[in-house]
Amino acid sequence: MYVVTGGAGFIGSAVIWRLNRAGITDILVVDNLGHADKWKNLVNRRYADYLHRSEFLRLLRDNALPGGIQGMVHLGACSDTTQGDADFLMANNVAFSQHVCRYATERGIRLVHASSASTYGNGSEGFASSREILPRLKPLNMYAYSKHFFDLWLLDNGLDGQVASLKFFNVYGPNEYHKGSMRSVACKAFGEIAATGRMRLFRSSSRDCADGGQMRDFVYVKDCAEVVFWLLHNPEVNGFLNVGTGSARTWNDLARAVFAAMGREPGIEYVDMPEALHGKYQDFTQADMAWLEEKKCPVRFVDIEAGVADYIRYLQGSDPYLEMCPA
């Protein structure tokens, strides 16, 4: 059996899709479905059972989970970078993750955990996913700090050699419609362009960067699922691992890729960045992906032109690749 926490979410449902492609259906999905529409992400997935996160946590604490668990993919977390309730983030993103980690490592269960590239802060320490630079990182918001704090906990307790903690960069792709304001810009742009023929990007707050010239490492969710799948079956590969293409591209590049995939002429409008993001916005991220070659991981990432084109086909209803419900 495999356990996927956050299994009804964006990356989680893609991981289940990848497991299903390999014929694996003995999967325990853990999530908090509530009144949101993310249940739709599970309609075309095959899995054995579902548990609410609170019930899963109770079973963890009581050492009462079923036996035969081969691997856990812990993606369940609050991913809202504007979340201001620090106590909630520490409970949800740190304490919960610690319970999962202790349970898995004490029983020799393979654990793949979701960290975040936001832990790199302004990038002054670079983007090498090494344990040496980890203590020097300065996250820019509370969400990032919660992810960073857990990574430090892994390091301080000597558990980074038993857990693969993945620093996901800017992920986009199918099944993110339920994320509201946290949807990728590619997803938001599709709706904006379809409705108005234009899309909006933030003006730059730096004199060294043109409007829309801020750069990110945009990574397609299908490629993320491939990395997770490979790591589940290569338990000797652990530590803090980046998941990105290794190539930074501008928001303008992303916008042009969306317009091209939709067969539209580019029409970009630049708007002021919200006050709440000032001082908390990363102008540049680029994953150091040296570990792929070092660990002989065969996954290769598509560029944004190919990834966005595939995603837009899905949003337009002509791509059955993931067989997931459209927005």
- The pLDDT, as a whole number, for residue 273 is 83
Cβ atoms 22, 91 nearer than 8 A: no
* Distance in angstroms between the alpha carbons of the first and the last residue of the chain: 30
- The pLDDT, as a whole number, for residue 8 is 96
CA atoms within 13 A on the CB side of 10: 25
In this structure, whether the domain defined by 2-173+219-246+285-302 belongs to CATH 1.10.760.10 is answered with no
Q: What is the pLDDT of residues 227-268, one digit of tens each?
A: 999 999 999 999 999 999 999 999 999 999 999 999 999 999
Question: Catalytic: which of 2, 47, 103, 143?
Answer: 143
- The pLDDT, as a whole number, for residue 123 is 92
Pair type for strands 163-168 and 110-114? parallel
- 0.85 cut: is pTM over it? yes
Length of the chain: 327
**Sheet architecture: strand order including 71-74:** 49-52, 27-31, 2-5, 71-74, 110-114, 163-168, 239-243
- C-alpha 229/C-alpha 71 separation (Å) is 10
Q: Which residues of the chain have pLDDT under 50?
A: 320-321, 323-327
Locate tokens 């966005």: which residue? Answer: 308
Catalytic residue at 143?
Answer: yes
- The pLDDT, as a whole number, for residue 82 is 81
Catalytic residue at 222?
Answer: no
- The pLDDT, as a whole number, for residue 324 is 45
- DSSP string covering 171-199, please? EE-SS-GGGGGGS-HHHHHHHHHHHHS-E
Q: What is the pLDDT of residues 102-121, one digit of tens each?
A: 999 999 999 999 999 999 99
Question: Catalytic: which of 179, 188, 270, 295?
Answer: 179
- C-alpha 209/C-alpha 283 separation (Å) is 8
- C-alpha 288/C-alpha 130 separation (Å) is 10
